Amino acid sequence: MRSRANIAYALLIVLVLESCCFERTLCSNVTYDHRALVIDGKRRVLQSGSIHYPRSTPEVWPELIRKSKEGGLDVIETYVFWNYHEPVKGQYNFEGRFDLVKFVKTVQEAGLFVHLRIGPYACAEWNYGGFPMWLHFIPGIQFRTTNAPFKEEMQRFLGKIVNLMKEEKLFASQGGPIILAQVENEYGDVEWAYGVGGELYVKWAAETAVSLNTSVPWVMCSQEDAPDPIINTCNGFYCDGFTPNSPTKPIIWTENYSGWFLSFGYAIPYRPVEDLAFAVARFFETGGTFQNYYMYFGGTNFGRTAGGPLIATSYDYDAPLDEYGFIRQPKWGHLRDLHKAIKLCEEYLISSDPVHQQLGVNLEAHIYYKPSNECAAFLANYDSHSDANVTFNGNLYHLPAWSVSILPDCKNVIFNTAKVVAQRNIGDHSFSRKTNFNEMLLVSSAWSWHIEEVGVSGNNSFTVPGLLEQINTTKDTSDYLWYTTSINVSGEEKEAVLNIESLGHAALVFVNKKLVAFGYGNHDFANFSINKKISLKEGNNTLDLLSMMVGVQNFGPWFDIAEAGIFLVALIGSKNGKTDLSSGEWTYQVGVEGEYLGLNKVSLANSSLWTHGSILPVNKSLIWYKATFSAPDGKGPLVLNLASMGKGQAWVNGQSIGRYWPAYLSPSTGCTENCDYRGTHYSSTCQKGCGQPAQTLYHIPRSWVHPGKNLLVLYEELGGDPSKISVQTRTGQDICSFVSEADPPAADSWKPNSQFVSQVPEVRLTCEQGWKITSVNFASYGTTEGNCGTFSPGTCHADVLSIVEKACIDQVECSIPVSSANLGDACPGLLKTLAIEAHCSE
């Protein structure tokens, strides 16, 4: 009896655990085979998206994750950022935006999995690639090679994060959401530079990761020589041709670039959703089972977190969720429909390897079979120019160029990557249409200011012979380093050319305390030269150079020892020739006066250091500005429009919202109004905003402001006009959709063995949460002309405004079938489109 009781009790425990695991998709055993990750004994097809927790705030994490789940994601992927978790050796920070445990638990609460990329090297366009600066100063250290001091620190931090996750029971085997972990990051791209030391380091990193006993698989991305059992994975714009280094490993895509990062002085890169969807469909078509969007939400490089050189504050990345967390359409919606279509094929994808069938030149099919011989198929036209008609299983299919059609029953097309039926946003970005935001201008009378003296100040300077390298001098405690010397002139020659050479990233030049030049590099070439004709006076002249960093380098071989700052200063005279000032005596100061005074702090808001008067100084360098503002009503994020400013940094209530540089314009050429999605995409294939600043709007999280007065502080380096600055918040959105009778019905309307061809396509409209459709501005069924925002009735036009208003007004979402039976037929025999423009607001 006792034995039977024990057996019954044990069975009860097992049943309870199985129930827990089934209901919450937790308590999982995660392994892999050649086809997929295997979770609790079942292969899984998984859609993943990157969201970096410090690039947003904890208050909006749940909404970002909710929108990701609604977009069809199964997994959230994030890096871990060592430099902010351990800013001082042995002193840890897991608070606020850096509360990693809270972020992982928030994902878990939404019912999604986590891929934790511990690294600890991140790259990620993050300052110093995520490495803490103190690491650089450990004697004898060499990063990312078989170096004992580095390996000791890396192993310690890996262990710290793994143990933290274990303590919080966040690995899958503990009932947590973490199903994958990553060690190192894209090391294969630079391994050649490290020789044998690099090869040994890869083996050591793999062994160290496995020894931590996470109970989940480890991956190394872009690492062809990843040792077993580490899975080597693919990063890139396309991964349909990727093969792992072992036939026992699944095909995993860790970084599928949804767009590209933004740099000061560059045009804004973007990636058409038709190409992105094509890449994803091709990946699953050819055998992939796990893909991750880098990024699904990019967010903001608050403070000095942006990497270098010259990475912008916005990390929008043209992601499905924009920098502020709003849904970017049609990217989000088209990918959601793609995910639905792939999910309908999952049982086929996990049941077999694909069977390839050539359908013509640049035309092919991949078929997946169940044991029952039922099948799902992907039909691809990878020609970048020509559409095609193909015959498959006795049926004729039209395939636009550079597209994939998905047939979950080997018969009915439920999705084509080139046919976008998802709704679209009207306007280039969330704050591009004045009808959709409230704006408060900070006029001249609102401002106070503090003008800095040129050169070193106070007791914070030191003098040494020669020019010092900037990073080793500042230890990245400030963007700024003053270089000061004197030039003694005697005789007739008082004009010369001042030659300055810098490794980056920018510098202001003052002669006798007057600004005479400004030089700067760019993201690809941070170094720059200044050659400026100057006039000197008899006797002693002062030369003050303010060298400025714009993010510490985060990528490349041996990037950790990349240098910055001024390395040559010379005078070139017509009579005296070249006089090298580099080896003379130089006085240095790390940081600028206002940083030492703490002018960005709330505690000094009422200090006598600030001046207030009737005439606001504008277009002046080295000046601090201060104003207060009341946050516009609402719950959404705010933006600060700094288009009128030059270059500097900004703080709201003491929190740094990042660096700004609107004065740096992108090249005037290289952009295309309508970028053709067909053909291989690169980071610079599609660009917009030529001849404009890379960024003028700066994100203020709603949680950083409060009722009443809020403090805004700017440090302006070049010169600008703060009286033209405004604070904005979004109050609505303009949306549109156009769907033709020939478009496929919605993917989620397909059911096995259903008469899918008899169903009709639909226009579906949805507002952001909290808004409803308050007006319909255009509605036509026929041969509509123009694009979203510029629609006009064509020669065939049925006015369906009343039908659309009845279905949509005061609704968060609505759908209208696209058929003559529903909308009337103004022109029988012609292919017709339903086009709608609507406005959402409170």
Residues 290 and 617: their CA atoms lie apart, in Å, by 56
Element spanning 102, H or E: helix 100-109
- Residue 434: per-residue pLDDT: 67
Joined together, the tokens standing for residue 447 give 């401002």
**Pairing of β 415-416 and β 403-407:** antiparallel
| Residues in contact with 838: Cβ distance below 8 Å, sequence separation at least 6, in sequence order | 734, 735, 736, 765, 773, 775, 776, 777, 804, 808
Residues 738 and 833: their CA atoms lie apart, in Å, by 6
What's the one-letter identity of residue 459? N
- Residue 428: per-residue pLDDT: 73
Residues 455 and 593: their CA atoms lie apart, in Å, by 9
Active-site entry in 255, 274, 364, 593: 255
Cβ burial 618-630 (10 Å sphere, 16+ → b, else e): bebbbbbbbbebe
Annotated active-site residue 805? The verdict is: no
Three-state SS at 790: coil
Q: Is 522:484 a contact under the CB 8 Å cutoff?
A: no
For the chain (842 residues), the mean pLDDT of every run of 10, in chain order, is 38 37 60 98 98 98 98 98 98 98 98 98 98 98 98 98 98 98 98 98 98 98 98 98 98 98 98 98 98 98 97 98 97 98 97 97 98 95 98 97 98 96 87 75 93 92 98 98 95 89 98 98 98 96 98 97 98 88 98 97 97 96 97 92 98 98 97 94 97 98 96 98 95 94 89 72 94 96 93 93 97 95 91 96 90
Active-site entry in 186, 191, 346, 716: 186
pTM: predicted TM-score of the whole model, two decimal places: 0.95
Q: What's the distance, CA 210 to chain centroid?
A: 30
Joined together, the tokens standing for residue 481 give 């380093």
Vertex 473 angle, CA 469 and 476, to 5°: 105
Task: Find tokens 């400030």 and name the residue.
Answer: 478
Q: What's the distance, CA 405 to chain centroid?
A: 29
Residues 719 and 351: their CA atoms lie apart, in Å, by 64
- Residue 27: per-residue pLDDT: 58
**How does DSSP classify residue 339?**
H
Q: How distant, in Å, are the alpha carbons of 440, 516, 620, 665 from that of 646?
A: 20, 16, 10, 11
Give bridge partners of residue 726 from the DSSP assignment: 441, 641
Cβ burial 249-280 (10 Å sphere, 16+ → b, else e): bbbbbbbbbbbbbbbbbbbbbbbbbbbbbbbb
- Residue 24: per-residue pLDDT: 43
Residues 181 and 96: their CA atoms lie apart, in Å, by 23
Residues 437 and 771: their CA atoms lie apart, in Å, by 13
Least Cα distance to 333 among 276, 286, 376 occurs for: 276
Phi, psi of 45 (to 5 degrees): -100, 120
Element spanning 572, H or E: strand 566-573
> E strands of 631-721, at which residues?
638-641, 648-652, 655-660, 687-688, 697-700, 709-716
| Residues in contact with 137: Cβ distance below 8 Å, sequence separation at least 6, in sequence order | 475
Joined together, the tokens standing for residue 579 give 């006089």
Least Cα distance to 809 among 842, 779, 774, 769 occurs for: 774
Joined together, the tokens standing for residue 593 give 């006066």
What's the one-letter identity of residue 213? N
Annotated active-site residue 255? The verdict is: yes
